[in-house]
Amino acid sequence: MLLQCCTCPFLSVCTHMSLLFDCCSRGSVVAKVVGYNVQARPEKYVREVPMYVYEEMVDGQKLTEIINTKHENVKYLPGCILPDNVVGLCLLIFLWMVSHG
């Protein structure tokens, strides 16, 4: 799990960006805390908290779709609702977003 809060010279839209890598149960708990902290300080952070999600199927749906629609990691931490600013991204989209800002 990589949790990073840094000044982003490569991103022109923000002063700080939170990055969360991993969607395991611990990663989901950290995403929940970081998501609520970012919502509480909108002037300091970029609103969205990207979370890398290994793309797998759960009950016929992609895990990223479930996380982004239900705001819950039903596979690794069922019952724990994530803030709406936590966004599940598959690896390719996550890497593109980080590299392009």
- Where in the chain are the domains? 2-100
Burial label for 63, CB within 10 Å (0-12, 13-18, 19+), is buried
pLDDT digits (tens, 9 = 90+) for 54-95: 889 999 999 999 999 999 999 999 999 999 999 988 877 667
The verdict on pTM exceeding 0.75 is no
DSSP string of 46-92, one letter each residue: -S-EEEE----EETTEEHHHHHHHH-B-TTTSTT-BPPTTEEEE-HH
The DSSP bridge pattern shows strands 2-7 and 86-89 to be unpaired
CATH of domain 2-100: 3.40.50.720
